[in-house]
Amino acid sequence: MVFAGRVLDTVQHWPAFLDFPELFILVPALLGLKGNLEMTLASRLSTAANMGELSAWYKARKAALCNVALVQLQGIVVGGLAALVPIAGSYAQNKYVRCLTPRQAGPANNVRVIGEDRGGL
């Protein structure tokens, strides 16, 4: 978080951020999400340790793997929901949804427009 402003100052000139200014909406949300997920994992593991569930090696390994998997799932779901905000904003403003292609950061800079003529998906 200390260098987030410095990193954002650098990436604001990347092709993806120039073509899709809606991505700037995601930066603070995803930085906050990262911190929340880390604290959730720490809280769950410290609670398990205080309850004595980490006394045996196999229990500790199982608890750690299950909690890390849960935090990953939470990150995927909440990150996906956070991504809907700029998509909805782009659709409301332009009446179509622009999608990044796998080569968006490459020299070709291809952008695929979905539903441009129909005004929707």
Predicted TM-score of the model (pTM): 0.57
Q: What is the pLDDT of residue 79?
A: 80
pLDDT digits (tens, 9 = 90+) for 30-71: 777 878 888 888 998 899 899 988 888 998 899 889 989 988
How far apart are alpha carbons 41 and 77 in whole angstroms?
16
How far apart are alpha carbons 68 and 99 in whole angstroms?
30
Token pair, residue 85, equals 């905000």
Whole-angstrom Cα Rg for the chain:
20
Token pair, residue 13, equals 């000139």
How far apart are alpha carbons 113 and 51 in whole angstroms?
53
pLDDT digits (tens, 9 = 90+) for 11-41: 788 877 787 777 777 777 777 787 888 888 8
Helix-strand-coil split of the chain, %, nearest 5: 65, 5, 30
